[in-house]
């Protein structure tokens, strides 16, 4: 009697870079950028705890061209992460009904992003004043 071979579906090696997985992959990779920026902040905190010389070196590194490029890339990735995070909001919560009408998902996403932007701006202004 012959042994049955199970069917193995052929998988392209770069399946994660094709549609519809590309946007999911980018969203998940943007989480790595958030972790990298947290690492940058921790390095700054650690250098602050080591004294004025170490913190001055960290501040000089922050003003280098490589650091500025890194921060621009991390900012773009964090903005992508924030937008996609709020886009999942209507998909994960129960339907919101106001005055007998279902609130559209785009309106919910935009409202949440507006509240987050307002809170972030308030925090920044509060720290600068």
pLDDT in tens, the chain (129 residues): 678 888 998 888 888 888 888 888 888 889 899 899 999 999 999 999 999 999 999 999 999 999 999 999 999 999 999 898 899 888 888 888 888 899 899 999 999 999 999 999 999 999 998
Contacts of 37 (CB under 8 A, 6+ apart): 74, 78
- From the number of C-beta atoms within 10 Å of its C-beta (0-12, 13-18, 19+), residue 3 rates as exposed
Closest-CA residue to 85 (of 108, 102, 109, 120): 109
pLDDT at 17: 85
pLDDT at 66: 94
pLDDT at 115: 95
Is residue 25 a contact partner of residue 17, using CB atoms and an 8 Å limit?
yes
Closest-CA residue to 25 (of 92, 94, 77): 77
pLDDT at 63: 93
For residue 27, which phi and psi values (nearest 5 degrees)?
-65, -40
Q: What letter does residue 17 receive in the DSSP assignment?
A: G
Tokens standing for 22?
Answer: 């590309």
pLDDT at 113: 93
**Architecture, CATH, for domain 15-128:** Up-down Bundle (1.20)
Is residue 33 a contact partner of residue 78, using CB atoms and an 8 Å limit?
yes
pLDDT at 19: 86
């Amino acid at each position: 009697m012959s042994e049955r071979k199970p069917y193995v579906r052929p998988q392209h090696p770069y399946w994660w870079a094709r549609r519809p997985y590309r946007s999911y992959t980018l969203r998940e990779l943007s989480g790595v950028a958030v972790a990298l920026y947290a690492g940058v902040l921790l390095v700054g905190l650690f250098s602050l705890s080591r004294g004025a010389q170490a913190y001055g070196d960290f501040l000089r590194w922050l003003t280098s061209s490589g650091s500025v490029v890194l921060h621009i890339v991390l900012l773009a990735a964090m903005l992508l992460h924030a937008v996609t995070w709020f886009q999942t909001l209507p998909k994960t919560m129960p339907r919101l009904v106001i005055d007998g009408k279902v609130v559209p998902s785009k309106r919910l996403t935009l409202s949440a992003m507006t509240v987050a932007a307002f809170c972030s701006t308030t925090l920044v202004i509060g720290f600068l004043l």
